[in-house]
Amino acid sequence: MGARSAHRAHRAHEAPHAVERETAHAAQVRELVAAGDLRDPAWRAAFSAVPRHVFVPYFYTGRGAGYERLWGEDPDPERRARWLRGVYTDTPLATRLRDGELVSSSSQPSLMARMLTALDVREGHRVLEIGAGTGYNAALLCHRLGDGNVTTVDLDEEITESARAHLARLGYHPLVVTGDGARGCPARAPYDRIIATCTLPLVPHAWLGQCVPGARILAPLSTGLLALAVHGAGFAEGRFLHTPVYFVPLRGGIRGAAGPEVSRPPYDLPYDLHEDDRFRFMLGLTGTALHPREALDLWRGEGRPGRERFGVTVNAEGEWSWLDDPQGPYVWPLGSGPG
């Protein structure tokens, strides 16, 4: 069964609530277009064709013991309406908890659109996604590139089984792999693009060896979105985009660390800096290489630089973050070595 016929069958199955769901889906796409997040017609077509609610049959609101589960098939019409409003609100949604901790989520649609645009795919490109999540992002990639060009990896078998089922409901069948995302998926290499939907402590060195020369890696690191150009199996370099991002951390065998936990800034800093997202981002990149006070003096002295002035270099010897110039005076080790 093709994607279109499977989608029609799914719509018939959902018939009692189909109109409300389709209306909400169409409204969200219009909002993303109006906000400038879907300027590429190809991605606009993908978001129009792939409904988010299929991938988020339920989600959680609240925190800790106060989590509430909202479900699309709830017999209570008010709770069902709250679920639908939540699904088609431009916000991330908690989709899987374990012992009260978030282990998987559905990303904010506007951020997904910006990341997919920044990935800069072309027809025929082979893409590896790290972090299968609900399968929604993989479905968008499949619509744009075709099932055979998309591989998505997640460490958790429950997550991959669920993503695979969601994708199949709409007729999409990428390769969904249960495994350590830090190791990539060498069986399907080489890749033209790698996109991660989880925060990294380091860029796994294994990824570089699975890319074609000139490939692009787009991955969250600290609280920024790093765009790396791969120049060979042992070297990649690139800058951060200006967009702030917050994802569930990568779980797997990667070594090293990107510095202090950015959600808990040092308490010996002025209070206003506890809430300054740009400075906290810098702390996450400089790690133990700079004392927080040294980092603060540098950050102020350089005009309070934003994310786009920082970058990362990866080679066989290790990984470094830098400000403005990889050969300049401000370069810091990211971790103990390649992942």
Please report the pLDDT score of residue 258 as a whole number.
40
Q: Taking every pair of C-alpha atoms in the chain, what is the biggest distance, in angstroms?
A: 63
Please report the pLDDT score of residue 264 as a whole number: 43
Task: Tell me how far apart the alpha carbons of residues 70 and 281 are, in angstroms, rounded to a whole number.
Answer: 33
- Are 28 and 120 in the same domain? yes
Which residue type sits at 238? G
The residue from 148, 179, 210 where one domain ends is 179
Instruction: Give the range of the structural domain holding residue 101, as residue numbers without chain letter.
Output: 3-179
Catalytic positions are 104
Shared domain for 75 and 162, answered yes or no, is yes
pTM across the whole model: 0.89
Taking CA atoms, 129 is separated from 1, 38, 94, 150, 319, in Å, by: 24, 20, 19, 8, 22
Number of domains in the chain: 2
Q: Is 241 part of a structural domain of the chain?
A: no
Say whether the peptide bond before residue 190 is cis (omega within 30 degrees of 0): yes
| Pair 141, 265 in one domain | no
Whether residues 27 and 156 share a domain: the answer is yes
Pairing of strands 224-232, 235-244: antiparallel
| Residue 21 located in a structural domain | yes
Q: 24 and 164 in one domain?
A: yes
Q: Does 248 fall in a domain?
A: no
Q: Which of 179, 206, 230 is the last residue of a domain?
A: 179
Give pLDDT < 70 ranges for the chain: 1-16, 63-65, 252-275, 335-339
Residue 221 located in a structural domain: no
Residue 9 and residue 114 in one domain: yes
- 145 shares a domain with 26: yes
Say whether both 11 and 97 belong to one domain.
Answer: yes
Q: How far apart are CA 43 and CA 141, in angstroms?
A: 9
Please check whether residue 194 lies inside any domain of the structure: no
108 domain-assigned: yes
- Asked if the structure places residue 226 within a domain, the reply is no
